Structure 1
Amino acid sequence: MHHTLNLTFRVAVPHDAEAIRTIEFEAAQRFVSVGMTGIADAPPMELALVHRKIDAQQIVVAIDANEACVGFVMFEPQPTRFYVQELDVLSAHAGQRIGAALIEQVAQLARAQQITQLILSTFREVPWNAPYYRRLGFRDIEEADLDTVLLARRDAHIAKGLDESKRVFMRRDLV
């Protein structure tokens, strides 16, 4: 079967908030297949947080031909880079390069602000995490090369109960 990607990308608006939370929750269910049920069981982001990120124009959504939101990327501008906080696509739309296109949207926004680096933290072994991001041009950052901002982020993950030994920070330089 051949699907034409009839998608548009735009900065999220307030009425996207519930769809974003639904996509986040649905995407998390994939972690059951790799035994990471804690992630699947976690509630989606608080609505207030989603609205704050929307107001700050820090979420980009993928909209299909039926005006439905099928994926999103959420990011946080830092002085010299954009930190990609979350990237989720509905499983029914997986494998259509929507995630890659969403990352590209963030890269374009970054370049427009003379930002030359994207950064993220993800699971090392989960197939749709680090191996996926490597295909999108991200490279692992060695632990010795983590700066204070990323070390603080790692400590926050540990405080939340994430197993940082299974995670890796990655960067993509925008040239």
Structure 2
Amino acid sequence: MKIRHAFPAEFRHLQQIEVASGEPFRSVGMPEIADDDPMPLAAMAECDVLVAVNDDDVPVAFAAVSPVDDALHIHQISVDPKWARQGIGAQLIAALGDRRLTLTTFRDVPWNAPYYARLGFVELTELTPGLAEIVDEEASRGFTGRVAMLLLPQQVPA
């Protein structure tokens, strides 16, 4: 899978990928997550956005990241369900390089925290100020059962 930086003209398509990737939350009793608005275009524009593209150079997955405290934080990572379970999310994470990576995710959703743990992420018990702010913002939107996770540089998936 080819991975490259996203073009701003692709951001609306990336929002569609995010919406589609949220649909499986309905099957685990979390319709409010499936109904949540995608990452705003302005927020996406403030991030470094990598895309995985198909043979026609059309994005099928993306990761939006920015520095938060001492790490690169994954604000959003989404894979079009038609392309799921092919290792594309792991490829996007690997493409972020050999750095400290953080993210927040749902603790008990199989394709969230358990998936990231298989990739080498560990749950954080102490949060940096910026990460605590992200967790608080998510909680204010009703996102409960979340966990912050860290992937150390030497553990980046191949």
TM-score (norm 1): 0.82
Distance between the aligned counterparts of 2:22 and 2:130, measured in 1?
A: 26
Q: Which residue of 2 aligns with 1:169?
A: 148
Q: Within the alignment, does 1:45 sit opposite 2:51 as a pair?
A: no
Off by >6 Å, runs of 4+ in structure 1:
none
Distance between the aligned counterparts of 1:118 and 1:79, measured in 2?
A: 11
| 1:83-124: CA deviation from partner (whole Å, max 9, x where unpaired) | 111110011111110000000111x1xx4xxxx310111100
| 1:45-85: CA deviation from partner (whole Å, max 9, x where unpaired) | 333333x23xx5x1000011022210000111134210111
Q: Which residue of 2 aligns with 1:135?
A: 118
Which of 52, 61, 68 is equivalent to 2:51? 61
Amino acid at match of 1:94: A
* Uncovered stretches (5+) of structure 2, i.e. residues with no partner: none
Equivalence map 1:13-162=2 (5 Å): 13-50=7-44, 52-53=45-46, 58-106=48-96, 108=97, 111=98, 116-142=99-125, 145-162=126-143
CA RMSD of aligned residues (A): 1.4
Distance between the aligned counterparts of 1:81 and 1:119, measured in 2?
A: 6
Secondary structure class of the residue paired with 2:14 = helix
Distance between the aligned counterparts of 2:107 and 2:10, measured in 1?
A: 30
Secondary structure class of the residue paired with 1:83 = strand
Percent of pairs identical after alignment? Answer: 35
| 1:142-169: CA deviation from partner (whole Å, max 9, x where unpaired) | 2xx2222222222212222221xx1111
Distance between the aligned counterparts of 1:79 and 1:157, measured in 2?
A: 18
Q: Which residue of 2 aligns with 1:4?
A: none
The structure that has the greater radius of gyration is 1
Amino acid at match of 2:153: L
